[in-house]
């Protein structure tokens, strides 16, 4: 259990900016002017990463995933920006599930190439220590696989197995948890079972129980962060050590298909 401490006020953002963001200049301006203490980003393309690294803050990054583009695999990144010093950067690799997925998944991904579905590899998550004035906090940035609930849960548990339970934690990222009946057919198309389609709230119920087991709060529970899926894909989870002052899904998607999310601690 993380010790109960008095943590200072912090502004925490998380956003899947979409690797083919339609408004990259405005997206950069949004991030640069956000007055953040911590900003976690997923699906950051190389050219945008170079711009982020020039910002006057501490940073850490690793490959989010490599996507097949033509005949080459192109990396996109997970990025952490922080007002406070970062140490102990740890890359947590996820397995390559592609060889074990059913034929229907390969066919579906091929047919959906015009909508940016493609073969992927070399996926990972990122954990760091953040040196807050009140003590070290363990921060995770992750992007769980868009496949089916069993694989997402495995990846979440793998990330949590790397957590230092003696420290407060913040977990940010795109968890890809599909909640609306109209979208959970993707769970079956991407390798799951028909139960993953019919019991469309089961994954949310299970993951919330895991949050409770790890003494994490989900201040945006019930919010929609991704309009197409009508689900809370994006999360900022915090230990009970933190008091939540305010939590919000920001209305402007700034060229992405995901809304940025924001949590302020007191």
pLDDT in tens, the chain (266 residues): 554 455 568 999 999 999 999 999 999 999 999 999 999 999 999 999 999 999 999 999 999 999 988 889 999 999 999 999 999 999 999 999 888 889 999 999 989 988 888 988 999 999 999 999 889 999 999 999 999 999 999 999 999 999 988 899 999 999 999 999 889 999 999 888 888 888 888 999 999 999 999 999 999 999 999 999 999 999 999 999 999 999 999 999 999 999 999 999 98
| Domain presence at residue 227 | yes
Residue 3: inside a domain:
no
pLDDT (0 to 100) of residue 98: 83
Q: Could you tell me if residue 67 is inside a domain?
A: yes
Count of the separate structural domains present in the chain: 1
pLDDT value, residue 6:
52
What is the residue range of 203's domain?
Answer: 10-265
Question: How far is 89 from 130, CA to CA, in rounded Å?
Answer: 10
Whether residue 148 is contained in a domain is answered as yes
CATH, residue 244: 3.60.10.10
Residue 103 lies in a domain: yes
Q: How far apart are CA 137 and CA 78, in angstroms?
A: 19
How far apart are alpha carbons 190 and 98 in whole angstroms? 10
Rounded CA-CA distance 215/165 in Å is 10
pLDDT the model gives residue 7: 59
CB 257 within 8 A of CB 10: no
Q: ∠95-107-78 over CA atoms, to 5°?
A: 35
Other beta carbons within 10 angstroms of residue 156's beta carbon come to: 22
Report the phi/psi class of residue 234: left, alpha or beta, with left for phi > 0 and alpha for psi in -120 to 50. Answer: beta
Nearest CA-CA partner of 224 in 189, 249, 206: 249
DSSP type of residue 147: S
Question: 220-245: b or e for each residue (b if 16 or more CB lie within 10 Å)?
Answer: beebbbbeebebbbbbbbbbebbeee
Specify if 2 maps to a domain: no
Judge whether 4 lies within some domain: no
Q: Is residue 36, in this structure, part of any structural domain at all?
A: yes
Tokens in use for 121? 């590899």
Answer for the pair 134, 7: CB distance below 8 angstroms, yes or no.
yes
β 135-143/168-174 pair status = parallel
| Cα 216 from Cα 209, distance rounded (Å) | 10
Look up residue 36 and give its two tokens. 């953040």
Q: What is the pLDDT of residue 108?
A: 92
Q: What is the pLDDT of residue 69?
A: 83
């Amino acid at each position: 259990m993380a010790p109960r401490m008095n943590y200072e006020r912090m502004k925490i953002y998380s956003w899947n900016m979409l690797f083919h963001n339609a408004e990259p200049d405005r997206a950069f301006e949004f991030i640069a002017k956000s007055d953040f203490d911590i900003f976690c980003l997923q699906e950051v393309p190389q050219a945008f990463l170079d711009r982020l690294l020039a910002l006057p803050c501490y940073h850490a990054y690793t490959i989010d995933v490599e996507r097949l583009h033509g005949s080459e695999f192109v990396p996109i990144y997970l990025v952490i920006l922080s007002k406070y010093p970062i140490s102990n950067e740890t890359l947590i690799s996820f397995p390559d599930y592609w060889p074990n997925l059913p034929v229907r998944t390969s066919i579906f991904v091929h047919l959906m190439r015009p909508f940016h579905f493609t073969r992927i590899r070399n996926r990972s998550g990122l954990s760091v220590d953040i040196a807050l004035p009140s003590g070290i906090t363990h921060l995770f940035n992750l992007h769980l696989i868009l496949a089916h609930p069993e694989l997402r849960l495995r990846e979440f548990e793998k990330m949590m197995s790397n957590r230092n339970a003696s420290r407060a934690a913040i977990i940010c990222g795109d968890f890809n948890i599909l909640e609306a009946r109209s979208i959970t057919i993707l769970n079956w198309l991407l390798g799951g079972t028909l139960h993953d389609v019919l019991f469309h709230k089961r994954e949310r119920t299970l993951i919330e129980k895991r949050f409770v087991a790890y003494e994490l709060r989900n201040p945006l529970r019930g919010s929609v962060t991704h309009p197409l899926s009508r689900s809370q894909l994006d999360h900022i989870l915090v230990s009970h050590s933190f008091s939540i002052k305010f939590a919000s899904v920001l209305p402007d998607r700034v060229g992405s298909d995901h809304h940025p999310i924001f949590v302020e601690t007191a």
